[in-house]
Structure 1
Amino acid sequence: MKLTVFGATGGIGREIVRQALGAGHRVTAVVRDPARLGVTGDALEVFRADLTDPEAVRGAVAGRDAVLSGLGARSRKDAGVAARLTRVVLGAMEAEGVLRLVVVSAGPVGPEPEGAKLVDRAARGIVSAILRDVYADLREMEAELARSGTDWTSVRPPRLQNKPLTGSYRTVVGGFPPDGRFIARADAAHAMLAALDDAGTVKQGVGVAY
């Protein structure tokens, strides 16, 4: 497949690029600073663009089969970036007739797991309060997806870790895995790539966790 990856220099975005190349896809990595990517390959195109410029973004998605996005706030002060930049990506996809989109969101944005333990509900409440603005941004991003004409999937991980890829984790379409507290960025990226060909995840949030 011909894939475009936004947020390609972030922890998840870089893993998406690396794994997609390893799986034989042709990848366009959209970056502001190519020096930060740290991934190479014959099937890789590095596309330098300012994501505040919708016309510049169109060139990154034209003719592609699907788009994956690792865009999101890296701290509370960046809250708002996910929804704002995703609007630009959606506009470019609509203009170029590209339908498939997989984005990363966060577990607390979706429904609470069935039968969640008290300690997990309490922890979820505390984290949601601390990162209130970040999660509000992600909810608005998901609202933008729902209003769009794309075949979107929102992958919702819990706390992210910098650990190696395992390929072994739980997924719940429309929900979240019980007692799911962690996942490696590499496995979150793996789940996003796996969702591309899974029709059951279209227009759905997907909880992922160990």
Structure 2
Amino acid sequence: MKIAVFGATGGIGQEIVKQALAAGHSVTAVVRDPARFRVTGRGLEVFTAQLGDGDAEALRPAVAGRDAVLSGLGARTRKDAGMAAALTRPVLQAMEAEGTRRLLTVSAAPLGPVPERQPLVDRVSLAVINAVLKDIYADLRVMEAELARSATDWTLVRPPKLTDGPLTGTYRKVVGGSPRSGRTIARADVAHAMLAMLDDPATVGRGVGVAY
């Protein structure tokens, strides 16, 4: 499969690229600074682009002819709030212009539905996290709304707290919901889940919670 990866220098993005290459996919890694991108391998193309509103035309070659686009774009800190929607918007525009339909994007677990019988400690923790990171989650809600309005076959992947743990391939996945008491997941396993959903029609147009 031919895929494009946005946010390829980030923790999830680099894992997507590495695992996709290992699986035999052809990968276009879209980066702003090639010097920060350390992944190499057969089947890899590095595409340099500055992302932001108005940059859709420059992104069209990166998504043209691709079977799918995977994105790890988003804010890393509270001061970056607003980046997820702003960076994703031109990707959507470029995909629609080129007729590239499949898109998987990272969001966050607190934007998904609260699981039934969620323990009180997890409900309290969620309320605190929502209050502390409200600006980041407001940005992600805007991004999610724009995906829902787009012409793409989108999937929103919603992990909880991310870690730098190793790839396990063992985690819980809930289409249209969130795993109960799902508190952490490694970036490597988020990447694994995204690649596994590439050709899963049950995840199209849905949010998918992933967690240990």
TM-score by length of 2: 0.98
1:16 alignment partner, SS class: helix
- Displaced runs of 4+ in structure 1, greater than 6 A? none
Deviation at residue 38 of structure 1 after TM alignment? 1.0
Q: Which residue of 2 aligns with 1:152?
A: 154
Deviation at 1:198, TM superposition (A): 0.6
- Map 1:24-103 → 2, pairs under 5 A: 24-52=24-52, 53-103=55-105
Give the structure 2 partner of residue 17 of structure 1: 17
Partner amino acid, structure 1, of 2:13: G
Q: Give 1:55 shift.
A: 1.2
Aligned match of 1:163 in 162, 165, 169? 165
Deviations 1:162-195 (A, max 9, x none): 0100000000001000111000000011111111
- Unmatched 5+ stretches in structure 2: none
User: Could you tell me how far 1:127 is from its partner in structure 2?
Assistant: 0.5
In 2, distance between residues paired with 1:149 and 1:48? 25
Percent identity reads 71
Supply the distance in 2 between the matched residues of 1:104 and 1:192 (Cα, whole angstroms): 9
State the Cα distance separating 1:56 from its structure 2 match: 1.0
> Paired residue for 1:209?
211
Match status 1:199 vs 2:201: yes
Instruction: For 1:180-195, list aligned pairs within 5 A.
Output: 180-195=182-197
Q: Give the partner amino acid of 1:7.
A: G
Could you tell me how far apart the structure 2 residues matched to 1:16 and 1:42 are?
A: 15
Letter in 1 for 2:137: Y
> What amino acid maps onto 1:22 in structure 2?
A
Could you tell me how far apart the structure 1 residues matched to 2:56 and 2:199 are?
27
Match of 1:108 in 2: 110
Aligned residues: 210
1:138 and 1:206 map into 2 onto residues whose CA distance is 15
Deviations 1:20-42 (A, max 9, x none): 00000000000011121110012
CA RMSD of aligned residues (A): 0.6
Give the TM-score, by structure 1 length.
Answer: 0.99
